[in-house]
Structure 1
């Protein structure tokens, strides 16, 4: 089995380079100037050089609810989405890996770690339809519906992507014991989105110690394409899920990270693997070396 490598922590690398990642712009700040777009492109290129063959466009925070706080008009919001996809595509072309996929990131409409803030269904449908439509127009190869903390929002986002004929992966963020942050059991969530038409189901932005249980729960419900890209930040002494506007050191070093994730690939038959917050190109290169013999360049 060949495991497709997803990239790593985009915001982590932007913070490492000194770019603020805070409201109202969050990671979309990297789209605002030529210099910052060059920095963003360099991050994508570093992950491609490390072996990633799926790079995630910087659209996690280009949704309606987030951009509303920036006071951009409609044209400005649309431009940000297209710019994010364009930078990812330019990085792919410049790195000489035309077979790499550009994924459009579709995150929660409100807050990654606050299932209690998930908006009503009608608002979710309108907001996810807006982003999915712009991502499709920008030409993404697939939609990565990620960091979902409730079944309800995951299914609505998926429905809007599938309505456009898009190729969709759905990724959940989990707490201990194979539960979503909402408390919903992951097996039920997996059955729901795969029945709806998700191509693959993943676990992301979940600490390594909880990812293991989540993958066991995922495999109770689904034998098809699956993946993991864990949160690798050392958050000792910090509130769970709280935002920190600075670069946090990695919890696991590159070799330890690679050993852990490669073990999951073997045990759970993962078809996609990478990293989330706290993961750098060096982590991905080490994982590529274990899975594919050597990091690509």
Structure 2
């Protein structure tokens, strides 16, 4: 795997870890950062709305593009496309876009991340050191095409419950996700990030779609939990991970959008049933009000408390770590500093 361009190698995560000393950093939350840069995301499309309302973002260095640069300059080794929330063909078609336009926007979400990576590399050529606390070091960087669950398309908070109703079957979920995965698999992304998977059923749908062979790149499976024991649907975390373990094209497994206090216990259970690299990118622990569609302030942890968990997560077996909702480039920078310290301690000992 080179440091530029896309890699179709199913072991790209393992290759990345070889080149980053055994640990790699995933970026943090996107939506909060988009809003901080002026985007209004009060829309069922959530962060994907930026693709519709700001087609000039590359040129004006606002919204998505600048957020990616913030994360890369904070130390992220993996950045995810703005395609999680309802960036499904159904989501865009519900807005009145044609199938062709919808597929174009899917590819565009990945293209923006790839262009940000190239711009970051250009900045690295100009300097080989950190400037004003910015990390400008050429290194392997992966672009992950983010895929949310069926519940993300519904935009009713059901990705936090996994309850879709009896009419939603395995075949329903496969039909819903199939074309989107085919498009993203040919978009130039290095890997597909299957995020906030709420149930064993949806994990099975994703695994079968990967096994069908029409998706040309590998993926990681990341589940969420609200009790620190099971995934949000109540399904066993071990049974969910076992589905991912059996799928050759799943190259990493883990947890996202879950309170930091639950991560260590979940990782210890995951490690019992997988040989794949384990990833975690928790939220800050704040509570999400699905009715009001907003986070309840002051219910989570700050960056210092968040990063205080990092050593425990790595000791439990985590190789890839970052942040999800409400985390920022400051969170990622703090994780990077913690990793630098950890590497120094281990090398000196």
TM over 0.5: yes
Bigger Rg, structure 1 or 2? 2
| One of 23, 40, 55 as aligned partner of 1:34 | 55
1:90 equivalent to 2:115? Answer yes
Hey, which bits of structure 1, 4+ residues long, moved more than 4 A?
A: 245-250
Give the 3-state SS of the residue equivalent to 2:80 in structure 1: strand
Determine if contact 2:259/2:286 at 8 Å carries over to the other structure. no
Give 1:193 shift.
1.3
Q: TM-score with structure 1 length normalisation?
A: 0.90
1:256 equivalent to 2:305? Answer yes
**59 and 247 in structure 1: CA distance in 2 versus 1, 3 angstrom threshold:** farther
**Which residue number in structure 2 is paired with residue 115 of structure 1?**
162
1:191 equivalent to 2:239? Answer no
**Which residue number in structure 1 is paired with residue 34 of structure 2?**
14
Matches of 2:113 and 2:192, distance apart in 1: 14
1:176 equivalent to 2:227? Answer yes
1:166 equivalent to 2:213? Answer no
Q: Cα deviations across residues 202-238 of structure 1 (Å, max 9, x unaligned)?
A: 1000111222322122122224310110011533xx6
**246 and 205 in structure 1: CA distance in 2 versus 1, 3 angstrom threshold:** closer
1:284 equivalent to 2:325? Answer no
Comparing 273-282 and 129-138, the one that deviates more: 129-138
**Which residue number in structure 2 is paired with residue 106 of structure 1?**
147
Determine if contact 2:28/2:322 at 8 Å carries over to the other structure. yes
Matches of 2:34 and 2:297, distance apart in 1: 12
For structure 2, which runs of at least 5 residues remain unmatched after alignment? 1-20, 122-137, 153-158, 343-349
**Which residue number in structure 1 is paired with residue 130 of structure 2?**
none
Q: TM-score with structure 2 length normalisation?
A: 0.77
Matches of 1:75 and 1:110, distance apart in 2: 24
Give the 3-state SS of the residue equivalent to 2:150 in structure 1: coil
**Which residue number in structure 1 is paired with residue 273 of structure 2?**
221
For structure 1, which runs of at least 5 residues remain unmatched after alignment? none
Give the 3-state SS of the residue equivalent to 1:221 in structure 2: coil
**46 and 63 in structure 1: CA distance in 2 versus 1, 3 angstrom threshold:** same
Determine if contact 1:28/1:62 at 8 Å carries over to the other structure. yes
Q: Cα deviations across residues 40-65 of structure 1 (Å, max 9, x unaligned)?
A: 00011111001111000111131133
Question: Number of paired residues?
Answer: 290
**226 and 102 in structure 1: CA distance in 2 versus 1, 3 angstrom threshold:** same
Comparing 44-53 and 112-121, the one that deviates more: 112-121
**246 and 73 in structure 1: CA distance in 2 versus 1, 3 angstrom threshold:** farther
| One of 293, 297, 304 as aligned partner of 1:244 | 293
